[in-house]
Each structure stands twice: as C-alpha cells, then as structure tokens.
Structure 1
Amino acid sequence: MTAAEDEVRARVERARAVALFRYQLIREAADPGLSTRQRGRLVRELAGREHPGPFGVPVRVSRQSLDRWILAWRRGGFDALLPTPRQVTARTPGEVLDMAAALKRENPDRTAAQVVRILRTHLGWTPSESTVLRLFTRLELSRPQPGRTVFGRFEAARPNQLWTGDALHGPVVAGRKTYLFAFIDDHSRAVVGHRFGHAEDTVRLAAALRPALASRGVPEAVYVDNGSAFVDAWLRRALAVLGIKLTHSTPGRPEGRGKIERLFETVRGQFLVEVTGTGEPGRHHVADLGELNRLFTAWVEQVYPRRVHSETGQPPIDRWTAGAPFALPSPAALREAFLWSAHRQVTKTATVSLLGNVYQVDPDLVGRQIELVYDPFDLTTIEVRLHGKPMGLAIPHRIGRHAHPQARPETPPTPPPPASGIAYLPLVDAAHHAELAEKVNYAALLDNVTNTSPTVGEATP
C-alpha cells in the first residue's frame, strides 16, 4: 500500500472516530422522549465540562455545536455526524508522500523537519511539517524523542555581549573520531566560530576561536563549561589579552548553556544526520576532515542563519547584522593572544629549558624568573619577557622538539613513497660485467700471439 492510500484510509478512520465521539456525546440528550427543558439542561451540562476527545486529548464542546449535532443525527443518522471533508482530492501528491517515507526509511535519524528541508531543496516546494509528521506516525516511522532539558530564559541584550562555547562529538572520518568546537552569539543565535578536528584539545579550540575573533569581533564575555580544553591556561591568557571576561558554568548545573545545546540538536538533526565517514546508507560519505569542515561551513553560512529561529522569531543573520559594525582586533593583538607562555627560572649558565629544548638567554637574567612566549607550532623562536617587558629572544642551544606535543597535525604525515625496488650496487656490478664482455680481451690475444710465434732457429717462410 502506498503512502497516499494510507493517507486516505487514515482520514476515513479519523472521520469515523470523530462521528462516534459526537454520537456518544449527544446520545442521551437526543432522546425523543425528553422535553425541551430537560434536553436544554443536559446540553448545558455537557457544554460546561471537558470530555475525553476522540484522539485522547480532553476537549470542550459548545452548546451550539451540540445542538447542531443533535439536529444532524435526527435528519441523517450516524453518517450525518461524520465531519465534512475539507477537500475532495488529497492536498499532497502520493509520489511526494512516498518520497518523504523513503527518505525517512533510508535514514531513520531524519526528523520530519529535516525531510521537509530535503524535499524543498529537491522539489522547490514541500508539504507541511505536520503532514509529514502525521505520515511518519501512521507508518510507525517516528522514533520517540528523549525529553529536553529546559533552561533559563536569559538573553544578551545585543550581539557580541556574550558568546557561549562548547564541543560536540562528531562522526568517525577517515578512521578517526571527530569533534566540533563551536561558539554561538547569545543574542542573535548566530554561529560565530566553528571547526571540526580530530582531537578535543586547546589547539583545535584555538582553530575555531581565532577566525571567529578575526571576522566577528571581540565579545565582552565568553561562557564555557569545565572541559579540559576550556580550563586550559592558554584560553585564560588569550581572552585576558583581548580584554574578554571568561566564565565557566558550575559543574553539574548547565543553566545558561541551553542555546548552544539547542544548536547542537539542530546540528545533529540537520547536518550530522546527512553525513557519514563509515559508509552508512542514505548519507553522504565524507572522505576527510577538510571535506567535513567545508560542508559544515556551507551549511552554517547558507542554511542555518537564514531560517527563522523558533525563539527569537528572526533569522540569526538578521539579528546579528542589526548590531553591526563590530570592532575587530588588530592582527598584532590577535597574534599576541594566541601565543602560549611558560615561566622558567634562568640557570647559572644563563640557560632555560622548555619541553626538552635548551635555550640561551641574556646573562643578566641569571637567577631571575622569566616568561617564555612562543607559537606552539614553532619552538625555534622564543620571546623572553621579564615582568611583561621584552628581553630579546632565547637562542636555541639544543633543540630536540620543534613543536609543542599538543600541536599535532590534523592529518597523519604523508606516508613514504613506495620502495623503487632498485638496488644500486648490484646494478653497478651488472654494468661492470656487461662492459667487460664488450671489451677486447687483450690478455687472451697476447696468449694467442705467443702460442703462434715461430720458435728460435726456425726458419720463416
């Protein structure tokens, strides 16, 4: 049976359920033996209280509706109580309903809203979400949704007053787990920063936050949880350099982070449900991390910010641009914010160590506590500071590590090229033998000349 036929059958069943409910409600009041006064008293009593509806929801029925149903039953019997069809033909073509059901079956994690988005993108129009949801319910394709946690209703008064950051576990891509770091503007619900990475650490967090600050401006405050990446000293330093207040949520109390949790629900229901790194059917196979970030950026820029947000009643992009323009940090300030630092005491030999490397510093700093400021991806250039004042560069003395252990590349190093199978010395040896075979054997020729020469005293012809 097709989805369209199921739709017709379901409408008939719903109509009969409504007619039966109406009949049971008016049965006593429609008794011909009742006087007008008795019938009026019963009808008023029925109209004054709730009744279990035909579909399990309590309903109230007005006295005018009860009188109309009694009159209809007297004239036409049970069939007269059937609700009048709103239209003769189905509003949604059967092939569209079949397509919606197929989209749900091939990927059961798709919600009705997501199926509607796919149909709109594919066909240019779509049935309503409620129509698709009813279809899934009739076909028993809907999955029970876990209860949502309801958070407070605080909202920032303007864009860039507050950003909230968090991490979301993503799919396995190229055999490795992925994590999404994202930041959302509290006022507009715009996604201001995002990046998938293969690790849930400070380097991947910086890869999401730094472009956000460079393009979206500097927020007044950032609100995050107590994950290891968010409590790292590097984040505290970065935000302090830019004058941003950093606030952590109380462990076990996620109040105030409901907006980004809602964003992650949307990401799961609209984006992650459509991608796979391990070959599930009905999803787009993502080959590597670069493709995953490229697809997510397209979704963040083209789809998410342009749809009306259910809480604000506006598209996030409209709310965000209403607060423009925003002050952007200078390149120098941004670079300074994303440097790492460590404090060391200078030895008697005017050296300091960092991650196994040894550096030479100014001899005047012997015995002093200094700050080493550096790019985690380049440990050959270390700036020396004393009480915040620059004191030159630390000269590499013994370098065994060129990058911080956490500054790992997202993709594994390029594997060595396949072996050529060429052995050099045997080739030289073979060439030597070939050359000898081609040369004239002068020793053999001398032997032949000696053997054929006349002996002493033998006359020559």
Structure 2
Amino acid sequence: MADDRGLEIGSAEVAKRMAVLRPHLVDGVPLTRVAADAGIPIRTARRWIARYRADGPAGLVRPPRPEAGKRTFPKELVELIEGMALLKPPPSIATIHRRIAGLASERGWRAPSYGSVRSIVGGIDPAMATLAHEGAAAFRDKYELVHRHRAVRPNATWQADHTQLDILILDADGKEARPWLTTVLDDHSRAIAGYMVMLGAPSALNTSLALRQAIWRKADPAWPVCGIPDVLHVDHGSDFTSLHLEQASADLRFRLIYSGVARPQGRGKIERLFRTINTELLPELPGNLRNGKPASPPRLSLAELDAAIGAYIVSTYNARPHRAIGIAPVEAWRGDGWLPRMPETLAELDALLVMVAKSRTVHRDGIRFEGLRYFDPTLAAYVGEPVTIRYDPRDMGEIRVFHRNAFLCRAVSADHAGDSITLKDIQAARVAHRRRLRSEIGERKVRIADFFPALVIRPTLPVTPAPLPSAEVAPRPKGTRLRTYSEGD
C-alpha cells in the first residue's frame, strides 16, 4: 500500500485470511469444512492457499485494481474543475460540484461526486493556487528561490532597520507609549553593531544616532564591534532615503544599497533579530504586550528599556553561539584580528552623521536659520557669501559654518547662548505663536463687530422663500411629505 493507512488495512486483511486458513494449515482440517465455517466459496479458499504457498503471507494481500488511483473522467472535465478552483475569489467545492454536475449532464459525461471534485481541487499545486488567489507578491514570498548570502568578512555589509517593540513604557509625562528600536547588524558575524531606542516614528536623526554608535568605539570592552562598513543595506523608508544619509554615506565612503520595494527577503537576518528580542527579552520586562494587551502594568522609562536592551545585546545576543554560524557573533567579528576603518575623530563623525547640512547666505546681522540668528565675528569677512551650515537637531543653540568645504567657525544664537534648544522646541514655539496670533485676531474681530457690525462678515444662513401672498397653507394629507397650497380666488 502507498500510505500508512493502506499498510494497516493490508495487514488486517492478511491477519483475517490467515485466521481462516490456520485450521487447515496447522490442524489439517479439510479445506471444504474451513470454507464452510468461514462462509467463503471453496474456490476462494483454494486460491488463498495457492497464494500463501507461493508467496507466504504477502500473497494474501488483495491485489490493487489496475485503475486504482487513476481518474476516469475526461481530461477536459478535470481541467475545467481546476480552472474554476483557480478563479479569484475561489468558489466553494459545493459550487464547483453543482456547476460541473450540470455541465456533465448536458454533455453526457459521467458526473463526478463531491468527493472527486474535492480531490481534484486538493491536488492543485499550492504554488499555482497561491499565485492565482493571492497574487505575485504572496507567491514570491512563499515559493520563489532565495539566495542566502553571507558577507565574506566583518564590516563588509551592515543591515539597518526599525521595528516597533511589543512593550509599553512610560514617557516623560508618565503616559503609556510604545517605543521603536533601530538596529545595525553586521551581516558576516551577526553581531549587533549599534542600536537606538526611541519614542515616535523613526527619523533620519535616529538612524544616524544608531549608525554613530555602530561606527564609533564602545566604552564596554565586551562590545568591540565598530568601524565604517563598505555597504549599508537598508529599506525604502523615508528616513533611509533621506538626503542627509546619502551625504553621510558619501563623506564616510560607504555604499547605500536599498532593498526592493515590498521585498523583505534581503532583510531576513535583521528581521530574525527583531523576533528574538520580542520573544526572548521583552517577555521578561514589565509592560510586555501579548495579543495587543500588556501582560503587566508598564513601569519602565525609555532610559531603563534602553539599558535593558543594551545589556541583552552585549551579554547575551553577541556573546552566545549563533545557530547559523556556529560561534558567538562577537568572536566571528573579531576573527583572527584585524583593524576596522575608522573616522579620524568623534567630532568628525558627529559632523557627518548627526549634524544636518543646509545652504545659507551670510547677512550683515549673521546667519538666519529656523527663525534664529547666529553670529560669530569670523563671519564679518563673508557677508553676502554662500556658506554651508551643519546643525544638531537636538541642540539648536549652535551651528557649524563651512565656506567652500573649509570650516569657518561655530556660530551661536545670541538669544539662546546658554540654553540647549532643539528643533522640536522651535517647531512647538511656531505652533504656539500661530495659535496666539489667531486668538488675538479673533478678539480684534469681536471688537470690530461691537462698533461696525457691517464690516464683520458673518456666515449667511440659507433663507427659506416665503409663500406667495395669495397662497394659504393647506393641511398636509397623511402619507405625503409634499407641502400643498390652496389657490385663492
């Protein structure tokens, strides 16, 4: 038999026939009496004895029918059933059976049973069914071949991506918030080179901060991963496709490679890392989300979650053997010893990664940017000249000024010389300023309305036309919504 169930049926059949023949084979009971006692024809008993003596117990297995496992329906009927099953959306088996039975009756074919139709539909190639019902994207993700590539050495290729973590924490105002995690992973060693935990959607700045940590030397000697990669593999998120990251990649001399749109296959290693963090680390922390709800009350702050993830990366993920490569990621990154390519100074790295570049013109009162005025005596010789400024969105109190790619000075905002002001602070101040002005405009209009009502434009309400003088409103009959009028004499 072809399957386990067939083997069981065959074995039971052999045992049953052996029990019938045993009195004749063992005790010498005449075969006619054995056949009569078992209620089988004598010819059948003789045939069993002949098969047993020729092939042993295996000869007692019922031989399969020649047509077993073969469909006897016309080929075009089978293809029609398969074609109906591949429609989108797919009809039910009952619908297909009903339509096919009607067609078979018209054509004079033998109508298939419901079970036969179900068997034909079930025999359709799953890849074909997926392509027909779910489209090319689902087919590609499930059935297309994937080339599993591993970089030949550490820092040859890094991957960077974001995920929203399955945990709730408390923000600065004590409100529950779901954080995001950005990680940078070395493709060769699977070591995590850098990460960034944040609240709010991922941005180019957060990506740059994760990349800054990945590139620069860490204070913890147990986390040696650092250096400038040859290639950074990212997706098509707006933060990854930003001009700022492109400028940084050109200045640091590494290539940006974008994965295909809606093609997650190239990011499988970092996606697996995210699943490991979500299923291994976060369930041990308060506020972990299970089925969309926190399993325990959130208690962690952003800094505490950042510390927990950092400790997990250094002491667990990077330090234990990785199943795919057989050794710990940190050991795979170290290899036999080598020197990574590094920027000259941390200040240079900050200028390229963290600080955003913009073009401006030097005015007599300094450089104007984001509603602030920046000044330094060095700018006196460059009035009217175009310059490039670099600024840290986390601290808008100071900008760095470059003229023809040469550093000029650090210009400060005189109004905020001793303060740390961020770009978000400026944007919030703009919104507050607009609201205040609108409120004052409203107050002015109210005063004008008190003295000059005609100057204030009020919204006009629709006017219902009055009935004609000669028309009297007649009672409205029941069951109608129309207003009728009786005409006067």
What TM-score does the superposition give when structure 1 sets the normalisation length?
A: 0.55
Q: Where do residues 231-242 of structure 1 align in structure 2 (5 Å cutoff)? A: 231-242=241-252
Identity %: 26
Amino acid at match of 1:340: V
Match of 1:229, SS? coil
Pairing partner for 1:248 from 258, 267, 281: 258
Give 1:318's aligned amino acid: E
Q: CA deviation at 1:213?
A: 0.9
Task: Give the drift of 1:232.
Answer: 2.6
- State the secondary structure of the residue aligned to 2:162: strand
* Residue identity matched to 1:178: P
- Contact 1:177/1:198 (CA < 8 Å) preserved in 2? yes
Residue 186 of structure 2 is matched in structure 1 by 185
Q: Is the counterpart of residue 387 in structure 1 residue 375 in structure 2?
A: no
Q: Number of residue pairs matched?
A: 290
Aligned residue type for 1:321: R
- CA distance in 1 between partners of 2:265 and 2:161 (Å): 13
Counting only pairs closer than 5 Å after superposition, residues 5-404 of structure 1 correspond to structure 2 as 23-30=8-15, 31-32=17-18, 33=49, 34-39=51-56, 151-170=146-165, 171-174=167-170, 175-199=176-200, 200-215=202-217, 216-277=226-287, 285-322=298-335, 324-327=337-340, 328-329=342-343, 330-337=345-352, 338-347=354-363, 349=364, 351-360=366-375, 362-394=379-411, 396=413, 402-404=420-422
Q: Detail structure 1 runs of 4+ shifted over 6 Å in the superposition.
A: 18-22, 43-46, 278-281
> SS at 1:257's partner residue?
helix
Checking the alignment, whether the CA contact within 8 Å between 2:158 and 2:185 is kept in structure 1 is: yes
Deviations 1:226-261 (A, max 9, x none): 222222333223333322222222322233111111
CA contact (8 A) 1:29 1:43 kept: yes
CA-to-aligned-CA distance 1:246-286 (integer Å, 9 cap, x gap) = 22223222331111111112222212333343796766954
Give, as a single letter, the amino acid of the residue that structure 1 aligns with 2:401. Answer: V
Distance across 2 between alignment mates of 1:323 and 1:336: 33
The 1:41/1:368 distance shift into structure 2, 3 A limit, reads same
> Does the aligned pair in 2 maintain the 1:350–1:363 contact within 8 Å?
no
Give the 3 Å change call, closer, same or farther, for CA 36–302 of structure 1 in structure 2. Answer: farther
Matched AA of 1:172: L
Q: Specify whether residues 375 and 212 from structure 1 end up closer, same or farther in structure 2 by C-alpha distance, changes over 3 A only.
A: same
For 2:168, give the aligned amino acid: V
- Which letter maps to 1:252? A
3-state SS of 2:216 partner: helix
Separation of aligned partners in 2, 1:323 and 1:233? 37
Q: Is the CA contact 1:156–1:162 (under 8 Å) kept in the aligned structure 2?
A: yes
Report how far residue 181 of structure 1 moved.
0.6
Instruction: Show CA shifts across 1:4-26 (max 9, x none).
Output: xxxxxxxxxxxxxx999864342
Separation in structure 2 between the aligned mates of residue 232 and residue 259 of structure 1, nearest angstrom: 24
Asked if residue 405 in structure 1 is aligned to residue 423 in structure 2, the reply is: yes
Distance (whole Å) between structure 2 residues aligned to residue 45 and residue 259 of structure 1: 54
Partner of 1:415: none
Q: Which amino acid aligns with 2:238?
A: S
Contact preservation (8 Å) 1:273, 1:283: no
- The answer to whether the Cα contact below 8 Å between 2:362 and 2:384 also exists between their aligned partners in 1 is yes
- State the SS of the aligned residue for 1:35: helix
SS of 1:182's equivalent? strand
Post-superposition CA distance 1:362-392 (Å, at most 9, x none) = 2443333210123333333322211101233
The answer as to whether partners of 1:158 and 1:323 remain within 8 angstroms in 2 is: no
State how far apart, in whole Å, the 2-side matches of 1:301 and 1:43 are.
Answer: 67
- Relative to the length of structure 2, the TM-score reads 0.52
Alpha-carbon spacing, 1:354–1:190, altered in 2? closer, same or farther (3 Å): same
Larger RCO (alpha carbons 8 Å, 6+ apart): 1
Cα separation, partners in 2 of 1:45 and 1:393, compared to 1, 3 Å? farther
Contact 2:52 2:59 in 1 (8 A): no
Q: Structure 1: which amino acid aligns with 2:368? A: S
CA distance in 1, matches of 2:321, 2:59: 48
In structure 2, relative to structure 1, the CA distance for the partners of 1:392 and 1:308 (3 Å cut) is closer
Distance 1:19 1:249 in 2: 46
CA distance in 1, matches of 2:288, 2:322: 32
Contact 2:396 2:423 in 1 (8 A): no
Given the superposition, is the C-alpha separation of residues 335 and 371 from structure 1 closer, same or farther in structure 2, using an over 3 Å criterion? same
Aligned residue number for residue 72 of structure 1:
none
Query: C-alpha separation between the residues in 2 aligned to 1:190 and 1:407?
Result: 36
RMSD of aligned C-alpha atoms? Answer: 3.5
SS of the aligned residue for 2:212 comes to helix
Given that 1:345 and 1:370 are in contact with CA atoms closer than 8 Å, whether structure 2 keeps it comes out as yes
Looking at structure 2, the residues matched to 43 and 218 of structure 1 have their Cα atoms a distance apart, in angstroms, of 75
